[in-house]
Structure 1
C-alpha cells in the first residue's frame, strides 16, 4: 500500500486535497445550518452591546461634542438597518481587503518571491498526471469557464432576469462579468507572465491571473448570489453556497492540474473575480435598496423550468465544447 501511494503520490495528494475540501465544506454547511441562526443572533446582540458601550465612552463623547457632523456620518456607517449602514461599510472593507491582497500577490509574482518556487514545484508534480484518467474529468470541469460557455451562461442569466422582470440585476451581472474580464486581460498584458512549459492544452495568452479562475468566481459566484437572494429557504441557501464554493474551487484546481496556470495565477484569478463579484453585488444591493429590484417574488412553474433548462443547456454545451474543442488541443 505504501509503495502504491509513493508511486502515485501526486494523484493521492490531489485526491486527499479534494477530500479535505469536501469535508471542510460539509462541516461548514452543518455548522451554519445547525447553529447559524443562533450565532447570528449572538453576533447582533454583541454588536448592539458594543455600540452602547462605545456611546458611553468618554473619548467618544468628547469626539461627538467636538465633531458632531462627523460623528453622525460615522455612526450611520455602522447602523444595522438599511443598506447604507453596516452592509455598505462591510462591502467597502471587503473590496479594499481583496484589492490589497491582489496587489500584494501580483507584486510577489512580478518580483519572483518564494511563492514562485512553490508554483514551479506544484507544476512539476502535476506534470506527472498527464497520462492519468482524471485529466478527462478536469478538462470537462475547466470547460465550464471557457469563453463560449462563459458568454452563454451570462446570456442565460440575463434572459432569466429579463423574463422575471428584474432587469436591473443585469447591471450588477455585467459589472461582475465584463469588469472581471477586462481587468484580467489588462493584468495579463501588464505582467506578461509565461504559462507553465508543460501545459496540457495549447493556449496563447499570458498566465497571471487565471482567466478561468476569475470567470468562475465572478460569473458563477454572482449566479449563486442570485439563487441565494431569490430563495426564501435558509437551508437551501447554505447548500447553494456550499455547492458553489466547491464548483469554483474545482475550476481553479483544474487549471493547476492541467498545467494551464501556476497556483499563484489561480489565487490571483480568485482575488480578481472576488473583487468584481463584490462590486457587482454592491451595485445590485444598492439598486435593491432603491426599490429597483424585488427579491420576494412568486416563481411560476414555467420560470422554474426555464432556470433548470438554462442549467441543463450550459451543461450540455460544456460537454459538446469539451469534446469538439478542448480534447483535440491536448498537447
Structure 2
C-alpha cells in the first residue's frame, strides 16, 4: 500500500510541477509549497529524495516548455482582445511585469524567474512571445529547474526532520505551528500573485455561498427550523462582537490553553523533551562568539522589563493623545497579566536554567518571560496596527515584521543559553493566551464611536514623534549601560576518579552509544582513551597524520560548502556535531582519503569525560567513520562498515609509538542501525581501550 501511494505521489508531483509552470494556472498554484511539502514527506521515509528531485525538475521543464511554445503560437493581438478569461487572469499589468523582467535580464531571466514567486509562471510565456532562441531557453531552463527542485526538496527534507524532533515532545504544538506557517505562506503567495487572484478567489467563494443559500433543500431546512438558524445567524454575524468575533476568540483561547497544558504535561512526563532541550542548548553553545552575543543581547533587551515598561508608558500616552483610550486597559492587562502568570509558573515548576548560559539569570527557567512578553506586548501592538491599516500589502508586511521580531526575541534567549526550547515555546503560548484576552477586550470596545481629537493633528504628530525619539534614546542608552557579566568559558567539571579505562563503563548509567538530538541511540562508541590532557590527545592524532577539525561557525561552514561544491580538499573542515551524554563532541579529527576531496574523508569525534584515572590521566571516548560522499550537497554519507574505520584509526594511532597499552574487547551487542542523517551502519560491538604514554 505504501509503495502504491509513493508511486502515485511521484506522478502527482510531476503533474503539479507541469501545471504550476503554465501562465494561466501557475499564477494561482503555489508550486514551490507543494514541492517543499513532498520534501517534508521524504523525511518520513515515504519518498526518495533523489526521485522527487527528478520528477519535480522534469515536470517543471515540461511545463516551462509548454508555456514557451504557447507564447510563440499566441498572437499578441489575440492576447489583447479575443479571450476574456485569458485577459481576466493574464492582465496587461501582469504581462508588462514579465516583459520588463525579461527585457532587464535578457537570457538570465529564464534562470532568475524560477526563484521569483510571482513571475515564474509568466516569464517562459513572455520569452516565447519574444521569440528567444530555443537552445538558450532549454539550457537556462534545465539548470534553473534542477537547482530549484534540489533546493526545495532538500529544504523540505530538513524541515521534515525538524518536525520529527518537535513531534517527540508536542504533537499538538507541531500541528499548530505547521498550520500557522502554511497559512502565512499561502496568504503571502496570494498577495504576491496580484489583485486579480484575490478577486477571482473572492468571486469563487461568493458563488459557492450563493449556490448553497439558493438550494431548495437548504431553504426548506431553514424554513423548518427558523429559531435555530436565527440564533446561528447572530452567532456568525461578523459585525457584532458577541457574534463571530467572540466565537473565534474563545475557540482560539481554548485551543492555545490546551496546547500549553500539553507542553507542561510533556515536560513532566516525556524524557525526549528534556533530552532535546539539553542537546539543542548545547548545540547552540558551540556557535557562541562575542559579535553574535552582542547582537542577540540587544535583541533580548527588547523583552526586558525596563524596555517594556518605558515603551508601554510611552504608547499609553500616544493612545491618549490620539483618542484611542480603549486600547490602554487591554495593553496593560496583556502585559501585567502575562507576567504575573509567568512568575507563578516559574515558582510552581522550579526548572533550572541551562548550564551553557552566557550570563547569569536569577529566576527559574519555565516559561520564558521574554518570549511571553514578546507575544503579549509586541503582538498587541501589531494587532492595533493591523486593525487600523487599510492596504493588504501593508497588513502582510506588518504581520511578518511582528512575527520576525517575536521569533528573534525567543531565539535570543536560546542563543544566549538562558532558556530551553520548551521554555520559549511555552512562553509564546502564555503570551498568546493573554494577547487573545487583550484583543477580546479591545474588540468589544471597537464597536463604540470614535471620540474626536482634542488638539490639532499637527501638534499630536509632533508630540508623538518626540516621545518615540525619547523612547529610542532610552533603549539605546539602557542597552549600553546594562551589561551583565558575560562568560564564554565552560564551567569546570568535578572530576570522578576511576582505576583505569577498563573500569569506566562499569558505571551502568553511562551511555555506550552516541545520541541523536532527541536522545535516541545511534553509533556505539568504539574508543576509550586515557591521555595526560587535551594537548596529548591532539598531538597523538597529528603524529598519525590526522587534522584537528575547525570549529563549527559560519565562516568555516561557507568554506566547507565552497570546497564541497568545487570538489576541493579541506583537511580541517568542520564536522556535524554529535552527542554523547547530551554533550557536543569536544574534538573532531579527520584525514583526507586518496581522492584529496572534502567529499570523502576519514573522521573521528571525541568527548572529554569528567572521569580521571588514579594516575592523573583524563578519559576520552570517541567514534570513527568514513565519509564516502555527499548527500544532496548538504551532508556527508558514511560507509556503513564502521568496524573497518575503527580498525583503520587504531592502526594509524599505533604507528605513532605513543600507545603503551591497548586492547579490543566486546563493548555492546553486535547491531545494525541508522545515524541521525538516516545512513545505515553495522557494528560487531567491539571497542578499543587505549592508554597513551
| Contact 2:330 2:438 (8 Å CA) reproduced | yes
Moved more, 307-316 or 43-52: 43-52
| Contact 1:98 1:271 (8 Å CA) reproduced | yes
User: Paired residue for 2:329, among 157, 163, 171?
Assistant: 171
| Contact 2:322 2:453 (8 Å CA) reproduced | no
| In the alignment, structure 1 residue 226 sits paired with structure 2 residue 357 | no
CA gap 1:98/1:323 in 2 versus in 1, 3 angstroms: same
CA gap 1:79/1:26 in 2 versus in 1, 3 angstroms: closer
Deviations 1:114-155 (A, max 9, x none): 222211111001111333421110000000110100101111
Q: CA deviation at 1:156?
A: 1.0
Deviations 1:209-231 (A, max 9, x none): 11001111110111112222233
Query: Where in structure 2 are the equivalents of 1:1-331 lying within 5 Å?
Result: 29=188, 31-32=190-191, 34=194, 37-38=198-199, 41=202, 45=206, 48-49=209-210, 52=213, 56-57=217-218, 65=225, 69=227, 71-289=229-447, 291=448, 293=450, 300-325=457-482, 327-331=483-487
Q: CA deviation at 1:308?
A: 4.2
Q: CA deviation at 1:72?
A: 3.3
| Contact 1:288 1:294 (8 Å CA) reproduced | no
Distance (whole Å) between structure 2 residues aligned to residue 39 and residue 279 of structure 1: 35
Q: CA deviation at 1:101?
A: 0.7
| Contact 1:139 1:254 (8 Å CA) reproduced | yes
Aligned length: 305
The unaligned stretches of length 5 or more in structure 1 are: 1-12, 18-23
CA gap 1:297/1:266 in 2 versus in 1, 3 angstroms: farther
Q: CA deviation at 1:112?
A: 3.8
Distance (whole Å) between structure 1 residues aligned to residue 452 and residue 262 of structure 2: 37
CA gap 1:165/1:111 in 2 versus in 1, 3 angstroms: same
Distance (whole Å) between structure 1 residues aligned to residue 265 and residue 456 of structure 2: 47
Q: Secondary structure at the match of 1:206?
A: coil
Q: CA deviation at 1:252?
A: 0.7
Moved more, 32-41 or 170-179: 32-41
| Contact 1:231 1:237 (8 Å CA) reproduced | yes
Moved more, 105-114 or 177-186: 105-114
Bigger relative contact order (CA 8 A; separation at least 6): 1
In proportion to residue count, which structure has more strand?
2
Q: Secondary structure at the match of 1:197?
A: coil
CA gap 1:61/1:31 in 2 versus in 1, 3 angstroms: closer
The unaligned stretches of length 5 or more in structure 2 are: 1-157, 163-182, 488-693
Please, what TM-score do these two structures have when normalized by structure 2? 0.40
Distance (whole Å) between structure 2 residues aligned to residue 101 and residue 287 of structure 1: 28
Which residue of the partner structure matches residue 640 of structure 2? none
Distance (whole Å) between structure 2 residues aligned to residue 71 and residue 28 of structure 1: 31
Q: Secondary structure at the match of 1:84?
A: coil
Please, what TM-score do these two structures have when normalized by structure 1? 0.80
The structure whose Rg is larger is: 2
CA gap 1:156/1:46 in 2 versus in 1, 3 angstroms: farther
| Contact 1:156 1:310 (8 Å CA) reproduced | yes
- The root-mean-square deviation of aligned C-alpha atoms, in Å, is 3.4
Q: CA deviation at 1:29?
A: 4.2
